[in-house]
Structure 1
């Protein structure tokens, strides 16, 4: 049917395949039938409708199939017709200029809709495959997609697709930087400055800000300071919005709109009523034609056209998640050299702000970070740490209840949780790159410890979600390490920490298990310096010893041994506890087992860096045993 002489039959066949490809289990069967080579030529079909449905089917295949399928698509040369299609779309956009009024009168704009599907397909394959990125660079695809971006004022969905694609292809892609000339940067800057306040436009600006961060090496040194501030201003705008309240408000708006639609006697009356509604659907919203196949996933433009409010909330959550992810990258990027950054002197206003931030006792929430001066200043001026901390809270319970009882809104729960986890990861990054003074001092760190403790222990059962556990244990580990290094008393009780680590060590995620034993090691080393802590140290010691001996992952076992070394390295209480749990004989017995495991399991299962760490643990184990033996010989 894909080769049928009738365009309508070909379109129907593509649409049918597109719908089926939303089901992951059918994808292997389609791949065996060489669906990529069958659909690829249809991207250049004489019929625009066929082009669109073929591109949509391939988009579904790339989105639902994952990395291996995208690799297969590139191997089967999907990029050749895709690049050709994009170039034709780019040319066609100019030839297809219509007034907004005329556009509303038409059922659809085929060129823009085809471009949207094609750009999404391009985004998916470039995100998964380096060869696709190389072809993007070599074939000048940047010019084509930027041409599509120029439609942002009338087609925000297309612009968001382009922005997603740009953010993906500009990440770690130095070969593309030379293509971002003044004209290209001007397009991005224009989009960043667009004043529209819908959630979709907030998402668009956030994605463009992320792209500009990726291409920061092309920005003149004298403009870097203002560029960083502009980026963080956009992120601040996104993070300032309360997603829970937005869900409640938008859900109510959806109900009201539905009620109005039902009450309306005619389509004309309904149109009049909705036009007068504050939350009416925008004129530039994409209309989905009859028979158009859509699939539900993270891309908001695939939601049905009558889900305007849901699209807005989805866009907001995507914007917030994206902003938080880029902030992590900003914290983790290498510190630029002084000559790369514009020297910015502190104004009286910023000095006053600094003074007020400390006088108000807001500590961590409004204190500068120990990064470059420009990022420090921009973080401070845009209250980024404060907004990150707000996002670490659990989602609004009323909003969650709305989502739970509304099937089409239920996917938002996962997105709400993702925003919280990204915020915790941001917090972790900030703690890693900041010193205590920059974080607001001891009281701010203790308040933060209480906040994290509340997140963990506020519910009747300890959290089990892997992503949340990894994010919060990483943040807690970094925080406790900072507090321990500055001799700041820790707010969590040993019993709480043991309970958390007991839950963490049973996680299927090795990073969570590593964090769990590391947290115990940090806390135990602090307790070892105190008084009357023998019993607690014994519990910690037994726990860590048990993990070291029984853990399936050598990396986690090694971390448990490191934690033991930290806890029992010094202090009278630690010495007593070590004797009572028979730490020395246990480690002497375990030493050859650990060596043998490294020799047998190390090759092939672990990276070079991990093996290097394990070798250090092995050496430290030998030294620690020798140290413990000297303690036993020392007269007391």
Structure 2
């Protein structure tokens, strides 16, 4: 369990941030109603002969299911089978709101709800809808609408919502993926993606869907031909005029990476270079500075809008001859619309969107690098589903930047990928992203509710970079990363992040990411005999924080870090007191942690720390290691027998069985140590 682990990321469901069309003035549901009554009434309204009522019901359901607690009320009343036929409703606005309701249901409900939606046959109307949409993507559908003042292409908006549903269910359900393959839905997705120049929103949804379905889907990969791959080239080569395009290109690059085995060998190196070029460009942007720039632009827009508003108010006072008919717009008074300043400054939303797209693109790019630097060998650790500036960092940055020596070339990476990662300075760019977010940018976002949602995205980029750093260390040799001095600087940098910063947004996720990076650095330094700059007391503090975390991976990292640290100290004189502290700490985890994987990891670490050496023997005797492990042994065996098959997969059970075997052997060794000390 002590080996370095590599984390993989899978494309996940996106945030349910797409706005839902509002109802046509038919009122809202009373908050006092129970979810069951609300669900019953709204599902009945779906059968109304009035398209306005059906649209209102769909929009209301879309809003309600964003509260996870109400989802069961709708599922119990077969909401999916009620909403499914409305995807093909004669009224286009009903189609859009029905697709939006299913989108939010699939996004907010998670994997189980998506699987349930597929079981209730959501795929049949969904695929039929998307096929209809693709035949009308190049047609102006405004003439089909009764409202003369509607200036939008409903077909593309419907397709956008439907693509999100398709993406979510294919991510969660193997049945949905089988239908996707059988119905050749990839052609639909590629056609929507090809419209990126006129509808970036729809193209981004299509790109996410494509990235998801090309992940570990050999049946689909076998059906991909050169023509399909060529449809992705214009997106990859497009000029990135805004951050939305960069996000689109990053996600498409992820799809091309998934499809790399279908790319002709003669152009594979060029394709990998194109992927890494996009990643490098995205990671080169300083997100904190970009947010500050966008916020300044938004503030100027607000000031200009306020001046315009005051001017319009003055004009209205001087010229009150406004007819009653002109005063009413879409059911709201003109005066009310003018008074709402936000209606006059759509550019502010644009700035927030651009900043958001950048942060999501950087997160996606880092996750791609994580996967590129990940061995396909089974990990022996349990993984949970999950993502400051200093002049002293410059030496390490230069080392990472200049590290162009021979590569370790592990089996999980090709020479082309190794070369491209270094040629585009990816290790250096990842290192830069491990710093805490720009404090000025965080402060600016905190002071404005509209910008506040960017804060967790800023931190997620850092967390992904720390995880990425862990994987990079597992596939590059020491010389490629700048040698022993660079690793020591890296360890010092991580020390400053872990031990001097307390302003962390998500403690569990931060501890998982940071401890994985610390573990990787300490392990490679220990294997190369490089002196470690982290004090044992610091490491103990980090591990104490990790074992309090609900995140299993953070706790696994903690015991591994202690195993690495203790095994190094065991070879050094006058360290028995520190070894006693480490041993007692690991014993407590082995005996008390709720996860057998963590308990097993703690025992594995004890084997490493106390396997040999005078200092470790002395410490083992003083903490009664033999007697304590004898108490743990039968409990550990019983837990494996009772809980193993229900809670752990076969790989984990094999590792736990090895720990059980090694524990028996280790107890025999400790018995010989006690006999030696008694004689």
Sort the TM-score into its range (normalised by shorter chain): 0.7 to 0.9
Match for residue 560 of structure 1 among 591, 602, 617: 602
* 2:381 paired residue number: none
Name the structure, 1 or 2, with higher relative contact order (CA <8 Å, separation 6+).
Answer: 2
Is 1:363 matched up with 2:407? no
- 1:385–1:600: structure 2 CA closer, same or farther, 3 Å change rule? same
Q: 2:103 aligns with which of 40, 48, 59?
A: 59
CA 1:234 to 1:361, structure 2 compared with 1: closer, same or farther past 3 Å? closer
Matched, 1:485 2:522: no
What residue in structure 2 maps to residue 320 of structure 1?
362
Alpha-carbon offset, residue 365 of structure 1:
4.4
| Aligned partner (choices 574, 580, 584) of residue 532 of structure 1 | 574
Quickly say closer, same or farther: Cα 1:463–1:90, change in 2 above 3 A: closer
Does the CA contact (< 8 Å) of 1:366 and 1:385 recur in 2? Answer: no
Give the structure 1 partner of residue 274 of structure 2. 230
User: Quick one: distance in 2 between partners of 1:70 and 1:464?
Assistant: 27
Q: Name the counterpart of 1:518.
A: 560
- Paired residue for 2:671? 629
| Structure 1 match to 2:302 | 258
CA displacement 1:353-405 (0-9 Å, x = unmatched): xxxxx999832344355342211211111111111111111111111112222
- For residues 630 and 265 of structure 1, the distance between their equivalents in structure 2, rounded to whole angstroms, comes to 87
Change (3 A) 1:473 1:595: same
Matched residue SS, 2:514: helix
Deviations 1:544-596 (A, max 9, x none): 12222222322212211111111111222212222222223333343334333
Task: Count how many residue pairs are aligned between Structure 1 and Structure 2.
Answer: 579
Structure 2 counterparts to residues 588-627 of structure 1, below 5 A: 588-627=630-669
Question: Partner of 1:173 in structure 2?
Answer: 217
Moved over 6 A (4+): 266-269, 358-361, 461-464
TM-score, normalised to structure 1's length? 0.86
Deviations 1:314-370 (A, max 9, x none): 1111101111111111111559xxxxxxxxxxxxxxxxxxxxxx9998323443553
- Choose which of 491, 501, 515 in structure 2 pairs with 1:449: 491
Q: Does the alignment pair 1:209 with 2:253?
A: yes
Note the residue ranges of structure 2 that are not aligned, 5 or more in a row: 1-44, 143-148, 314-329, 333-344, 378-393
Q: Which digits, 9 at most, give the CA deviation of each residue in 1:570-629, with x for residues without a partner?
A: 222212222222223333343334333333333423222222222211222222222223
The whole-number CA distance in structure 1 between the counterparts of 2:49 and 2:502 is: 64
Pick one of 617, 623, 628 that aligns with 1:586.
Answer: 628
Cα distance in 1 for partners of 2:133, 2:597 equals: 51
Seen in structure 2, the aligned counterparts of structure 1 residues 186 and 548 have a Cα distance that, compared at 3 Å, is same
Q: 2:226 matched to which residue of 1?
A: 182
- Which secondary structure state, in structure 2, belongs to the residue aligned with residue 489 of structure 1? coil
Q: Classify the secondary structure of the residue corresponding to 2:450.
A: coil
In the alignment, what sits opposite 2:13?
none
Q: Considering only aligned residues, what root-mean-square deviation do their CA atoms show, in Å?
A: 2.7
- Partner residue of 1:389 out of 422, 431, 450: 431
Indicate if the aligned counterparts of 2:207 and 2:248 stay in contact, CA closer than 8 A.
yes
Flag the 1:241–1:359 CA change in 2: closer, same or farther, 3 A: closer
CA contact (8 A) 1:363 1:440 kept: yes
Distance 1:334 1:374, change over 3 A: farther
Partner of 1:509: 551
> CA–CA distance in 1 between the matches of 2:87 and 2:350?
29
Deviations 1:467-524 (A, max 9, x none): 1111111111121111111111111000001111111111112221111111011001
- Equivalent residue in structure 2 for 1:569, among 611, 616, 623: 611
5+ residue gaps, structure 1, are: 99-104, 270-288, 292-302, 336-357
Superposed CA offset, 1:191-246 (max 9, x none): 11110331100000001000000111110011111111100100111111111111
